[in-house]
Structure 1
Amino acid sequence: MSLSNPLPMSILLVEDDEVDVMNVKRAFKKNNISNQIIVAHNGIEALEILRAPASSLPKPKVALLDLNMPKMGGIEFLKEIRQDPNLHSLSVFVMTTSNEDADKIEAFNLNVAGYILKPLSMDRFIAAVSTLNDYWTLCEFPE
């Protein structure tokens, strides 16, 4: 019998807008979510975090991903991780303002776990983050 890790898993937030970063942190706090949030401001930074040696940071198993970012956007980031044998199983939830069908189709073709439009109200955003927490709390992830 193996003992599971008592520490909550870390969540990678790939988001270039500081207001949105603060909103995610506020929503975590309002929902009493204790998962560590590791912030990357674009896809390149996120890949550096995910590919860093194991001892530097706990490897996130879930990512919250904005699509519209400088340097490397969300779709490019998804294409890159899905081709990487060490990262292809990362559960990714897109959280974006883009309501374009083309973005939704491309994201789902790249195996996202969900596509969430950023709600306009903080209450709806807090509720959305609570639902995400239910998901990653219930799911079993491989080590």
Structure 2
Amino acid sequence: MSSRTPPRAIEILMVEDNPGDVRLTREAFKEGKVRNELHVAEDGVAALDFLYRRAPYQQAPRPDLILLDLNLPKKDGREVLETIKSDPSLKTIPVVILTTSQAEEDVIRAYHLNANCYVTKPVDFEQFMRIVQTIEEFWLSVVTLPPRSGS
């Protein structure tokens, strides 16, 4: 292992209700260079329960990065993003919007709500894998993430 390998796995929370996208993302991260732990919340309510360590997520780690779909059951990704970015204990966690929506109003609103970046999911398998690997390379290798604070 190189000396650049972090001593601990990077904790990633993926908020996604499409099992196929979860599977592809998991595969793309497995092929990556950075040790990571991918946690999945299938809806917006579960995502907030994970972040606030409510049952059944009392032992959940604080994520270093959140991959957030916008179109989710129970509580939509826009509401989840707004909650995260308005909470002083969560707002420093980078949030990458990873969604099928190409709607200009979704892009504008996501950035208005302080998303860290907006990525449109490609439908092609190879492109999807490349996008996830690019997210990994940038967010987990290039960027300095904020330290995990108490919470």
Residue 48 of structure 1: CA displacement? Answer: 1.0
Alignment of 1:1-143 (within 5 A): 6-52=7-53, 56-136=59-139, 137-143=141-147
- Residue 74 of structure 1: how far off its partner (Å): 0.6
Corresponding residue pairs, total? 140
Aligned sequence identity (%): 36
55-64 or 84-93: which moved more?
55-64
List runs of 5+ in structure 1 lacking aligned partners.
none
For residue 38 of structure 2, what is the amino acid of its counterpart?
I
1:133 positional shift: 1.1
Q: 1:112 to 1:100 in 2, by over 3 A?
A: same
Partners of 1:50 and 1:5 in 2: how far apart?
Answer: 23
How many angstroms does 1:8 deviate by? 2.0
Task: Report the 3-state secondary structure (helix = DSSP H, G, I; strand = E; otherwise coil) of the residue aligned with 2:59.
Answer: coil
Q: Give how far 1:82 is off.
A: 1.3
TM-score by length of 2: 0.84
Cα distance change of structure 1 residues 138 and 55 upon mapping to structure 2, 3 Å threshold: farther
Q: Provide the TM-score with structure 1 as the length reference.
A: 0.89
How far residue 100 of structure 1 moved from its aligned partner, in angstroms, is 0.5
